[in-house]
């Protein structure tokens, strides 16, 4: 009997790229990528008791998620034969204490599709949310809200 693929399983069937980064010193140190493209000072923001004189994991996550979601949106639009010129995705990543004596994240994505009507834009965003690896990784793990602007 052959196994059928579970359409709800969002894990990769094969790995086509691996990114590598190393943190040195946590929130008061620096991060590097194996290829040298990232070499950044990391500092906790003032809201978390730091000096804010470097980037932080939440900013890096926001940058990654917004870029990845925007790419998913462009792919979905291209498949539908649409030009999504001028579109943008902004991400806000919040951090705060959770009920398990740790910390949790919340994400708010703001999507702008100036050349697309609101109904079609909503369908494209919904489809992109199914395609985007960040959305698949965070689904049912953290709150992700999406606003069409």
Question: Could you read off the pLDDT of 46-99 as tens digits, one per residue?
Answer: 999 999 999 999 999 999 999 999 999 999 999 999 999 999 999 999 999 999
Identify the pLDDT of residue 9: 83
What is the token pair recorded at 76?
Answer: 């979905």
What is the token pair recorded at 12?
Answer: 């990769």
d(CA 38, CA 60): 11
Q: How far apart are the first and last CA of the chain?
A: 49
The rounded radius of gyration (Å) of the Cα atoms in the chain is: 18
HSE value, Cβ hemisphere, 13 Å, CA-based, for 48: 17
Identify the pLDDT of residue 3: 63
- Show the beta-strand stretches assigned E in the chain: 21-24, 28-33, 39-43, 88-97, 103-112, 143-148
Identify the pLDDT of residue 10: 84
- Is pLDDT of 1 > 60? no
Question: Could you read off the pLDDT of 88-142 as tens digits, one per residue?
Answer: 999 999 999 999 999 999 999 999 999 999 999 999 999 999 999 999 999 999 9
HSE value, Cβ hemisphere, 13 Å, CA-based, for 80: 17
Closest CA to 145 of 102, 89, 103: 89
Identify the pLDDT of residue 11: 85
Q: Is the dihedral of CA 131, 82, 121, 91 positive or negative?
A: positive
pLDDT category at 2 given cuts 50, 70, 90 is: low
């Amino acid at each position: 009997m052959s196994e059928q693929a579970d359409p709800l399983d969002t894990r990769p069937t094969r790995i086509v790229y691996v990114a590598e980064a190393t943190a040195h010193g946590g929130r008061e140190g620096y991060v590097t990528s194996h290829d040298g493209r990232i070499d950044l000072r990391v500092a906790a923001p003032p809201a978390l008791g730091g000096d804010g004189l470097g980037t932080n994991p939440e900013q890096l996550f926001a940058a990654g998620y917004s870029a990845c979601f925007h790419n998913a949106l462009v792919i979905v639009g291209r498949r539908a034969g649409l030009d999504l010129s001028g579109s943008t995705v902004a991400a806000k990543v919040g951090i705060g204490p959770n009920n398990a004596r740790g910390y949790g994240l919340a994400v708010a994505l703001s999507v702008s599709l100036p050349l697309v009507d609101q109904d079609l834009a909503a369908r494209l965003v919904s489809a992109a949310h199914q395609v985007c690896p960040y959305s698949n990784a965070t689904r049912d793990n953290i709150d992700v809200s999406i606003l069409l602007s």
